[in-house]
């Protein structure tokens, strides 16, 4: 049994129910939309967010309900819509090894299809008859948009700091994991203290998830799905290189980093900066920070009694920090 299968085991029945709900919304008579939705259905990801939502509900209550299922679907539609829109912003040609919607159909279709998928998220949320869920989803959408805008604006900012990096990833990645965990709890109880605890847990996982993604960019591995230094090509400086730059104060490398932010850097210069990062402890530092957040996440589970769901969430944390994709 692979690790994801172990993680899903306590919620196997619920995952089947979730998939039925999710797939029921991926149909439409409009010819173009029908094609786009069929493509999305065919490249289903690891479903990390619905798994987190359902496990959080089961951890707290020992069981789930229909609201838990619709909440899980809400967040997978939300995440899917954000990916379609992100591909437009980033001018991406591929998504999960297949042609992106924007590359296949153009930006207009991609934006509209993303809007349709986001509407599916809201429709699923209304099935719970819980306005608090809709509020959490809406705030997560605001956070994600603000994170992306902060990242775009940061390209113009000559300052290089960890604080800005963490502001970006808390908004663009961690906020959605936080919302999933909190909303899973909300589907089974209104206890605000428990909701806050699981929200903190989800945010810690989301930070780990993004740091791991950023570390991938410093290693050439075709299975990862993006070439080494791809973030730098897009004007992004992530935690490993930020640490190496701040720890050494190397003026030559700082000048290269500013060229990265201005998107005026060559591949050869990116290779130099990647090599500099590796030689000056950037990867090790990022891994330590990631592992510290992982330990924080596990510590937040301590108050809950032992259960299959609790063990699955421990394994979930380990999977996030140890994954190769």
Beta strands 94-95; 98-99: pairing state:
antiparallel
Region 87-116: what's the mean pLDDT? Answer: 88
Q: What local confidence, expressed as pLDDT, does residue 225 receive?
A: 46
The overall pTM is greater than 0.75: yes
- 93-107, 168-182, 253-267, 290-304: least confidently modelled range: 93-107
Q: What local confidence, expressed as pLDDT, does residue 224 receive?
A: 46
- 83-92, 261-270, 273-282: least confidently modelled range: 83-92
- 88-92, 231-235, 312-316: least confidently modelled range: 88-92
Q: What local confidence, expressed as pLDDT, does residue 219 receive?
A: 83
Residue 98, phi then psi, degrees to nearest 5? -125, 165
Residue 323, phi then psi, degrees to nearest 5? -65, 155
pLDDT band with cut points at 50, 70 and 90 for residue 220 = low
pLDDT band with cut points at 50, 70 and 90 for residue 310 = very high
Query: Are the C-beta atoms of 63 and 24 separated by less than 8 Å?
Result: no
Query: Are the C-beta atoms of 93 and 100 separated by less than 8 Å?
Result: yes
Q: Is residue 207 classed exposed, middle or buried when 0-12, 13-18 and 19+ CB atoms within 10 A define those classes? A: buried
C-alpha torsion sign, points 139, 143, 144, 145: positive
CA distance 25 to 30: 13
Region 271-285: what's the mean pLDDT? Answer: 96
Q: 301 CB contacts (<8 Å, ≥6 apart)?
A: 59, 201, 310, 313, 314
Region 269-287: what's the mean pLDDT? Answer: 96
**Selection from 119, 96, 86, 116 nearest residue 39 by Cα:** 96
Q: What local confidence, expressed as pLDDT, does residue 97 receive?
A: 72
Our CA angle for 262, 278, 244, nearest 5°, is: 60
Q: Which residue has the higher pLDDT, 298 or 89?
A: 298
First CA to last CA distance, the chain: 18
Please give the mean pLDDT across all residues of the chain: 93
**What is the separation of C-alpha 148 from the centre of its chain, rounded to a whole number of angstroms?**
13
Q: 174 CB contacts (<8 Å, ≥6 apart)?
A: 202, 203, 204, 205, 206, 207, 209, 210
For residue range 44-80, what is the model confidence (pLDDT) as tens digits?
789 999 999 999 999 999 999 999 999 999 999 999 9
Q: What local confidence, expressed as pLDDT, does residue 222 receive?
A: 53
CA distance 88 to 306: 44
Q: Which residue is associated with the tokens 């937040």? A: 300
Query: Are the C-beta atoms of 272 and 285 separated by less than 8 Å?
Result: no
């Amino acid at each position: 049994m692979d690790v994801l299968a172990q993680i899903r085991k306590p919620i196997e029945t619920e995952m089947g129910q979730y998939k039925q709900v999710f797939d029921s919304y991926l149909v439409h008579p409009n010819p173009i939309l029908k094609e786009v939705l069929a493509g999305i259905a065919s490249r289903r990801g690891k479903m990390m967010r619905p798994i987190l939502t359902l496990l959080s509900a089961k951890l707290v209550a020992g069981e789930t309900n229909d609201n838990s299922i619709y909440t899980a679907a809400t967040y997978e539609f939300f995440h899917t819509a954000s990916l379609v829109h992100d591909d437009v912003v980033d001018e991406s040609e591929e998504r999960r090894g297949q042609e992106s919607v924007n590359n296949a159909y153009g930006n207009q279709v991609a934006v509209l299809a993303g809007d349709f998928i986001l509407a599916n998220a809201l429709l699923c949320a209304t099935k719970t008859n819980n306005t608090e869920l809709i509020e959490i989803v809406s705030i997560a959408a605001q956070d994600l948009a603000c994170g992306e805008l902060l990242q775009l604006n940061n390209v113009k900012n000559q300052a290089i700091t960890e604080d800005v990096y963490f502001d970006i990833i808390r908004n663009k990645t961690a906020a959605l994991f936080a919302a999933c965990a909190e909303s899973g709890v909300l589907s089974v109880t209104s206890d605000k203290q428990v909701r806050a605890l699981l929200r903190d847990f989800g945010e810690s996982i989301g930070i780990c998830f993004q740091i791991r993604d950023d570390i991938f960019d410093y290693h050439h591995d075709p299975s990862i799905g993006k070439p080494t230094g791809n973030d730098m090509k897009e004007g992004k400086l992530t935690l490993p290189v930020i640490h190496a730059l701040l720890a050494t104060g190397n003026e030559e490398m700082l000048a290269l980093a500013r060229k990265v932010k201005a998107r005026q850097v060559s591949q050869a210069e990116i290779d130099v900066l990647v090599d500099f990062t590796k030689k000056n402890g950037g990867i090790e530092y990022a891994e330590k920070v990631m592992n510290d957040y992982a330990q924080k996440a596990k510590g937040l589970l301590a108050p809950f009694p032992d259960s299959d769901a609790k063990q699955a969430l421990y394994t979930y944390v380990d999977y996030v920090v140890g994954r190769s994709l």
